């Protein structure tokens, strides 16, 4: 067999190998059903001083910051029942659904006043911070389920 014939057969084999999966074979593609959202929508729990409140994001007015629809963290705290003065005298940590907290990796809880420049992006329940705060990466947490307040 000549080199030309071997090359031709090799090319034909490659072509058939590439086309065969598309010829008459059916591929079963299934998608997992998304988890049913609660009727109230997305929520985050705020816990402080022995109190706990679930805040539903659809009960709040969203903001658009840098082309993202977000919720001001301070608004979430107020909706949970904290007073403006309380927020200013507290520090806050955040807990992701996997249990991660910024404080677990050496990032101190944030002062309440910093939360006026922090947002919750409902797409991924991710914390978003104003760049003027200069926060380390440990504060940019996704899948937030709890905001934890403590006395400063």
- CB-CB contact of 60 with 75 (8 Å): yes
Instruction: Walk along the chain (152 residues) and give the pLDDT tens digit of each residue.
Output: 666 655 555 444 544 444 444 443 333 333 344 444 444 689 999 999 999 999 999 999 999 998 899 999 999 999 999 999 999 999 999 999 999 999 999 999 999 999 999 999 999 999 999 999 999 999 999 999 999 999 98
pLDDT of residue 8: 53
Per the listing, tokens 């109190």 go with 51
> Rg for the chain (alpha carbons), in Å?
26
Output the pTM of the full model.
Answer: 0.73
Measure the CA–CA gap between 25 and 57, rounded to whole angstroms: 46
Domain chopping of the chain, boundaries: 43-151
From residue 48, give the alpha-carbon distance in Å to each of 56, 96, 115, 144: 17, 17, 15, 16
């Amino acid at each position: 067999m000549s080199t030309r014939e071997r090359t031709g057969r090799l090319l034909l084999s490659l072509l058939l190998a590439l086309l065969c999966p598309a010829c008459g074979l059916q591929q079963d593609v299934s998608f997992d059903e998304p988890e049913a959202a609660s009727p109230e929508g997305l929520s985050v729990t705020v816990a402080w001083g022995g109190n706990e409140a679930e805040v539903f994001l659809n009960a709040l007015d969203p903001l658009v910051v840098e082309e993202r629809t977000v919720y001001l963290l301070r608004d979430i705290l107020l909706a949970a029942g904290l007073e403006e003065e309380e927020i200013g005298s507290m520090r806050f940590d955040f807990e992701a659904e996997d249990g991660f907290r910024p404080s677990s990796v050496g990032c101190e809880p944030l002062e309440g006043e910093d939360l006026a420049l922090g947002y919750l992006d409902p797409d991924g329940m991710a914390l978003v911070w104003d760049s003027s705060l200069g926060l380390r990466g440990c504060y940019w947490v996704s899948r937030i389920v709890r905001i934890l307040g403590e006395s400063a």
